[in-house]
């Protein structure tokens, strides 16, 4: 008895020792920054109190401030539109391409690899390239439109178009991810099902809606969820292409949070952190919804 207890004890210590690094890592790099962000958003920070300490506790003042800010409404709307439009197009186009490449025609491997290029490029490169292409005066897109007899569009500099422009660029960047994940999902569907379906005389359309789509549902769900979390926090593309402008017309929560915290000579850390926390909550809500759906599926 005594021996085994001692052994179990030592085993317990060993277990803790193995657990310690990952716990410390999680605490130092996840829990603490999160805690600091919540704390920042609950205090009234000025540059002075940021350096000297002693920022007064402000409760939910920062949240009240951003909720009543004239930027809040547009930023929320743009975040929702940006996320939904990006996801819808990325997923649809990604799915279409995945089904297309599933046919295994000659060169399909090479072409599929080419589709991955946007994914491999650093975001600063792709975003700068898009902003050159969409330049009102010297951009290739307007040159092409001009050749087709359509007047120039101020893609990045008109409040009516700037959000559409950043969405287009983001869709382009997101397609490869959807393509890759959905394509690998397709590999898992047994070919015999399709053979049986064609013997029963199912059309291509029916095969897609009756076999591919239902069997891809778990993969689709995780693709959409990951895409959603990525897209909610997209910052670089928008900041490089339009700085969230002109006049908030392409501002999302992510760019607004950055602008409050770092975009001005005089940083507003409190409100910036508050906007960031709203984003985290949004992502968390969708994550929880996903977990619930998944539980129900496996239950």
Partner 1 sequence: MRTPARRWRAVGTALVAVAIAGGSAACSSSDDGSSDGSGGGTYAIWDPYPQFNDDSAWVKLLKDCGTSAGVTVERTGYDTTDLTNKALLAAQQDNSPDVLIIDNPVISTLAEAGALTTTEENKLDTSSMEPNLLGAGQSGGKTYGVPIGANTLALYYNKDLLTAAGVDVASIKDWPSLTAALAKVKGAGKKGITFSAIGTEEGSFQFLPWFWGSGAQLTALDSPQAVSALTLWTDWLKQGYAPNSVINNTQTTSWQEFASGDYAFSENGTWQLANAEKLDFEYGIIPIPASGGGTAPAPTGGEFVSIPVQSDTGRYATSQKLVSCLTNADNLLTTDTTLSYIAPVAAVQDKQVAADAKLKVWVEAVKAAKGRTGDNLGTKYPKISEPLWTAMQAALSGAKSPQEALSAAQTTAAGATK
Per CB under 8 A, residues contacting partner 1 are 46-48, 50-53, 131, 135-138, 154, 156-159, 241-249, 262-267
Q: Quote the least distance from Cβ 135 to partner 1, whole Å.
A: 5
Q: Quote the least distance from Cβ 200 to partner 1, whole Å.
A: 57
R_g over Cα of the chain: 25
- Are 163 and 81 in contact by the 8 Å Cβ rule? The answer is yes
Q: Which of 129/136 has CB closer to partner 1?
A: 136
Q: Which of 9/36 has CB closer to partner 1?
A: 36
Q: Quote the least distance from Cβ 133 to partner 1, whole Å.
A: 12
Q: Which of 69/100 has CB closer to partner 1?
A: 69
Q: Which of 225/241 has CB closer to partner 1?
A: 241
- Are 82 and 231 in contact by the 8 Å Cβ rule? The answer is yes
Q: Quote the least distance from Cβ 274 to partner 1, whole Å.
A: 17
Residue with tokens 């050159």: 132
Q: Which of 107/138 has CB closer to partner 1?
A: 138
Give CA–CA dist 29/229, Å, rounded: 19
Q: Quote the least distance from Cβ 42 to partner 1, whole Å.
A: 18
Q: Quote the least distance from Cβ 17 to partner 1, whole Å.
A: 18
Give CA–CA dist 187/190, Å, rounded: 8
Q: Which of 129/158 has CB closer to partner 1?
A: 158
SS (H, E, C) the chain: CHHHHHHHHHHHHHHHHHHHHHHHHHHHHHHHHHHHHHHHHHECCCHHHHHHCCCCECCCHHHHHHHCCCCHHHHHHHHHHHHHHHHHHHHHHHHHHHHHHCCCCCCHHHHHHHHCHHHHCCHHHHHHHHHHHCCCCCCHHHHHHHHCCCCCCCCCCCCCCHHHHHHHHHHHHHHHHHHHHHHHHHHCCCHHHHHHHHHCCCCHHHHHHHHHHHHCHHHHHHHHHHHHHHHHCCCHHHHHHHCCCCCCCCCCHHHHHHHHHHCCCCCCHHHHHHHHHHHHHHHHHHHHHHHHHHHHHHC
Q: Quote the least distance from Cβ 261 to partner 1, whole Å.
A: 9
Q: Which of 50/290 has CB closer to partner 1?
A: 50
Q: Quote the least distance from Cβ 46 to partner 1, whole Å.
A: 8
Q: Which of 23/264 has CB closer to partner 1?
A: 264
């Amino acid at each position: 008895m005594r021996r085994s207890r001692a052994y179990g004890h030592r085993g317990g210590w060993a277990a803790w020792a193995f657990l310690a690094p990952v716990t410390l890592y999680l605490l130092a790099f996840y829990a603490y920054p999160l805690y600091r962000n919540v704390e920042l958003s609950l205090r009234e920070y000025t540059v002075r109190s940021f350096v000297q300490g002693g920022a007064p506790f402000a409760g939910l003042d920062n949240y009240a401030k951003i909720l009543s800010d004239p930027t809040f409404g547009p930023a929320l709307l743009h975040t929702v539109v940006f996320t939904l439009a990006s996801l819808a197009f990325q997923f649809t186009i990604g799915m279409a391409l995945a089904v297309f490449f599933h046919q295994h025609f000659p060169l399909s491997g090479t072409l599929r690899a080419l589709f991955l290029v946007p994914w491999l490029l650093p975001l600063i490169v792709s975003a700068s390239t898009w902003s050159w292409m969409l330049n009102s005066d010297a951009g290739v897109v307007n040159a092409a439109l001009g050749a087709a007899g359509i007047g120039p569009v101020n893609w990045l500099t008109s409040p009516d178009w700037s959000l559409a422009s950043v969405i287009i660029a983001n869709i382009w960047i997101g397609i490869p991810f959807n393509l890759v994940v959905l394509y690998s999902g397709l590999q898992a569907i047994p070919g015999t099902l399709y053979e049986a379906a064609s013997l029963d005389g199912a059309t291509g359309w029916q095969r897609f809606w009756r076999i591919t789509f239902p069997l891809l549902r778990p993969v689709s769900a995780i693709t959409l969820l990951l895409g959603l979390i990525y897209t909610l926090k997209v910052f670089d593309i928008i900041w490089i292409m339009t700085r969230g402008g002109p006049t908030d017309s392409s501002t999302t929560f992510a760019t607004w949070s950055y602008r409050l915290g770092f975009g001005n000579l005089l940083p507003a850390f409190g409100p910036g952190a508050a906007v960031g926390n709203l984003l985290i909550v949004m992502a968390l809500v969708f994550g929880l919804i996903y977990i619930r759906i998944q539980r129900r599926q496996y239950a």
